[in-house]
Amino acid sequence: MAAVGMDELSYRQATLADIDFCTAAILEAERSGSPHTVYEKVFDLDRAALSSTVNAMLGEDVPGSELCCESFTIALSDGNQIGCVAAWIENLGNPPSNLIRATLLSHVLGAERWVKAQPRLKLLSEIELKREPGTLQIEAVFVGTHARGKRVTARTIEHVLARCRVDYPQVRQAQIQSVLENERSTRAFSNAGFAIAQRTHSDNAALRALFPGSGRLLWQRAV
């Protein structure tokens, strides 16, 4: 087989063997250009503890959110992992993804830490965007620094959309969420053919201490 150059990407679905790469992708996407993730601030975790927590949640192998390795499509160049996206059909044969996340977090972190975090989680609900059942949800969009500027995000998302059209012909819309002020995500998702469908905003200073922006954007495009 000929070597795959940056102009000719290949793709494969992740497995549990890729759990460390998926963990790193989730954490990088969650940082959204800031030094810390929301998880670290909400649950009082240091970076190592958070990495172990995400790894453990992925290890539960529960489908229906980005916290499952099989949700990930990995982009490869010359056989090397250079990026990925997580994608699933919201609420299709599974509970809502927010319930899956809450269940996994409470299970892995323990009831005491989960209960302690409730006031902070309530703050985050001020800028929450609802996920629409039956839509293709895309999360944990990640490209390694050495591969940026090559439209890896747009190309990988296009591959995911093409596969969705074959596997789930009933699905009509794809959605992505991003931080309001994240300009890199705005460029990437615009280049991938998405348009802003909804936004949330809050001036709550306590919220800004947890979240790397003042709100969220919901991006949407036809599958």
CB atoms within 10 A of CB 166: 7
List residues bridging with 73 in a β-sheet. 13, 85
Distance, in Å, from the CA atom of 107 to the CA atom of 110, rounded to the nearest integer, reads 5
Instruction: Flag residues of the chain having pLDDT under 50.
Output: 1-5
Distance, in Å, from the CA atom of 53 to the CA atom of 14, rounded to the nearest integer, reads 19
Give the pLDDT score at 32.
Answer: 84
Across the beta sheet with 195-199, what order do the strands follow? 10-13, 72-77, 80-89, 136-143, 173-179, 216-222, 195-199
Give the pLDDT score at 6.
Answer: 52
Locate 79 and state its tokens. Answer: 């056989």
Distance, in Å, from the CA atom of 78 to the CA atom of 198, rounded to the nearest integer, reads 38
The pTM assigned to this predicted structure is 0.93
Q: How far is CA 98 from the centre of its chain?
A: 12
| Kind plus residue range of the DSSP H or E element containing 104 | helix 97-109
Cβ(204)–Cβ(126) under 8 Å? Answer: yes
Give the pLDDT score at 4.
Answer: 41
| Kind plus residue range of the DSSP H or E element containing 195 | strand 195-199
Instruction: Express each pLDDT in 51-74 by its tens digit.
Output: 999 999 999 999 999 999 999 999
User: Which of 134, 28, 38, 126 lies closest to 81 in space, CA to CA?
Assistant: 28
Which residue's structure tokens are 């996407």?
Answer: 29
User: Which of 27, 31, 72, 25 lies closest to 184 in space, CA to CA?
Assistant: 31
Domains identified in the chain and CATH numbers: 10-222 (3.40.630.30)
